[in-house]
Amino acid sequence: MSRVSDGATLRFSRIQDLLRFIQDELGASTEAIQRHMLSFHGLKFGTSSAYLSELAASGFVRMERDGLWHTTDRVIEFFGVKKGTDKTGRTLLEDVERERDAEKAKKGKRAQAERE
């Protein structure tokens, strides 16, 4: 049995990756973001630009004077962590995702145990 994500889940993972890319690069140009999203998700440049526009309108990213997109403190509020990487080089967003996955797994095991 194969698992197929619904559209919202897929979109959310793409947006997380886009934000992580901007953070890892400590700022990124529109073109660099478009190339990344094409390479890793197969998105058209227009779709990546639309994601950036939505994220900017909602306060998650902003373009600085250097012409690069940067994440805002809103990302910290949303993910519950500070921007950047830890001592191992992992982005802190990966730690949050790992914790969320662990919580989902626990809930899934509890639900399965209750059904049995």
pLDDT tens-digit map of 23-79: 888 899 999 999 999 999 999 999 999 999 999 999 999 999 999 999 998 887 777
Q: What integer pLDDT is reported at residue 84 of this predicted model?
A: 55
Secondary structure of residue 62 in the 3-state scheme? strand
Report the mean per-residue pLDDT for the chain.
81
Amino acid at residue number 38: L
CA angle 101, 36, 62 (to 5 degrees): 85
Distance, in Å, from the CA atom of 20 to the CA atom of 10, rounded to the nearest integer, reads 15
Domains annotated on the chain, with CATH? 7-115 (1.10.10.10)
pTM: 0.65
Distance, in Å, from the CA atom of 64 to the CA atom of 1, rounded to the nearest integer, reads 46
Q: Greater confidence, 73 or 80?
A: 73
Q: What integer pLDDT is reported at residue 8 of this predicted model?
A: 87
